[in-house]
Chain A
Amino acid sequence: MASKTRILLIDDEKDFLELMSFWLKSKGYDTITVTNGREGIEIIKKNMPDIVFLDIFMPDLNGVETLREIRKFSDIPVIMLTVAELKNVKDAYSMNELNNLGVSGFFKKRDGFEDLIKLLEVTIRMRKNIKK
């Protein structure tokens, strides 16, 4: 690994944020954690991370709203996190909109972190291929 992949974690659940951050660091990733969408947007503007993990269900600015804001200035890969079943997310938001917003993938928080890392690696690899 040439340089560590920098991951921005946006989730209002501090415990989960801490767990995820700890796990990712133990696997050799660099993480930045924030507890709301607005802070996350500022971080992306200032200090471009490689990828964003964004929780869907958050007070104030929710995940989808945050993503809309991000897309106004950045095409950074974003993986959406949800505690819900994916079908409920897809019920609530039109898949069309989510696709248009360029969501790289969905991660169910209940699934194992290994799955998250797989998703992360695939996303980053694809991004590199596109950039080449």
Chain B
Amino acid sequence: MALVLTVIVILSIIVSFLIVNLARLSGHIKITQGTRDYKPSLDTTISNELNTIVESAHNKKELVKLMRETIDREVKKSVDIAAKNVSTKYEKVLQDKNATEEIITRKYKKVISEKKQTEMIVRSIAEGLVVVDRDGKVLLMNPAAEKILNVKREDKINKSILSDLEEGQLVSMMKEGKESQERIIELLSSKEDVKKVIRSSSAVIEDENGRTVGMVSVLTDMTKQRELDRMKANFINTITHEFRTPLVAIEKSISVVLEGATGSVTKQQENFLNIANRNIERLSHLIDDMLELSRLESRSARPKLESCSIGSIIDDVCETLKTWADSKSIIITKNVQVDLPNLLIDSFRINQVFTNIIGNAIKFVPKGGNIKVEALYMRDGNSIVASVKDNGPGIPKEEQSKIFDKFYQIGDRVSTDVSGSGLGLSIAKEIVEMHDGKIWVESEKGIGAKFNFVLPIKHEEAKNGIENTNTVD
């Protein structure tokens, strides 16, 4: 009930409010506002309406003006921002450009200074440097090369290296050959009487497609070195003679006495004379080995190359050592591949290599041991590998690298029955290397040792490249 009453009251209030408002709009009700009397009439209404229109027109103008201003302001703002952006970017680009330029300049300077440095290095190295193009025309030549070849750079640049050089001095240097190679050139200048010995190491210069574009040669004046080698060789030869002569005299004196040519010799005298003889022999061997080694090291001895069969060298050596091996009941077996070609080697010296290695094996292998000598083709077919395998005490790992050193004796074994100069393997190594070969050992302590050496198969032409220096002692 109360709710109904309330609704009615509210509704009546709303209705009465609406009626009052309608009456006012139609002018039937006079409403007093504040102190002023408001008397609406047609005139005022029109005037009011007009005013509103005018006012709104005025307002529109204002609005347009305002809008324009706003737009202008906004546009200006955008333009400003864009302009600022552009200018920042421009500045950045400019900066980058400057930086790049700076880098380029710096790099350029660096390249120039490096070029200068390289030139300086090229100029100042003691070795002569000559770069020639495919046709043998000189592109670069440093002062050392000028001095060595006794020519002027200005006369040579862009000209064939062979023009106005005596007797095709450098012909050999220019002969084709892809790999880097070393040659010895003997040069007899018209200006000097001295024969110059020049070593030239040349390498072909190739472009990225592998085409030959020229050649670079490093020249070393070997004249003095050669002279020293010669002096050393002479010295060694003199020493050899001086050492051997007295030894021979002692040896022969003892032999003459032992022979009974001076009267009968007692058993005891004979015993001591034999001791003297044995030790002279030992001393002779030591001296021989030392001299041979220094001769090999001074490179005054060059291999006397001749074509010979490695099999027959092995046969000779085994034959020579047979008595010694037999005395220890050591069996030597040989396995030489049948179709091995003859090798261009210094047969006497290769004989020495086998003698030293097999001799060592006989020395170290206990009585009744085995030694196996082999010579086979290497897998590449360009070289021969020879090996001497024994079932002796072997060589400990840590000593394997040292056994080719001079005077090295395994385990400081000096005063046992195993005596030797300690130079046999050094000599073998020198000889093998003199033939452009390689020597090494494989061994396990207690099982045995296997000495291997590889000799490249050389052809007749190689012989011409090697000169012979004659020595006498």
Contact = CB atoms under 8 A, between A and B. Distances in A.
Interface of A: 13, 15-16, 19-20, 22-23, 26, 56-57, 83-85, 87-89, 91-93, 109-110, 112-113
Given A22-B261, A84-B241, A57 B472 contact: yes
A109 to B, nearest CB: 5
A110 to B, nearest CB: 6
A19 B261 CA distance: 11
Contacts of A16: 245, 248-249, 252
Nearest to B250: A15
Q: Closest 3 A-B residue pairs measured CB to CB? A: A92-B472, A26-B261, A15-B249
Contacts of B284: 110
A84 B472 contact: yes
30 contacts: A13-B245, A13-B249, A15-B249, A15-B253, A16-B248, A16-B249, A19-B252, A19-B253, A19-B256, A23-B259, A26-B261, A57-B241, A83-B241, A83-B244, A83-B248, A84-B241, A84-B472, A84-B473, A87-B304, A88-B472, A91-B301, A91-B468, A91-B471, A93-B472, A109-B244, A110-B247, A110-B251, A110-B284, A112-B255, A113-B255
Contacts of B247: 110
Contacts of A93: 472
A83 B256 contact: no
B256 to A, nearest CB: 6
B160 interface: no
Contact of A91 (B245, B261, B288, B470): B470
B348 A87 contact: yes
B294 interface: no
Given A83-B244, A84-B472, A92-B470, A22 B249 contact: no
B256 A57 contact: no
B220 interface: no
Nearest to B242: A83
Contacts of A56: 472
Nearest to A87: B348
B295 to A, nearest CB: 9
B241 to A, nearest CB: 6
B304 A22 contact: no
B400 interface: no
A92 B295 CA distance: 14
B253 A88 contact: no
Given A57-B473, A110-B251, A83 B261 contact: no
Contacts of A22: 256, 261
Nearest to A62: B472
A26 B259 CA distance: 10
Interface in B222-261: 237, 240-241, 244-245, 247-249, 251-253, 255-256, 259, 261
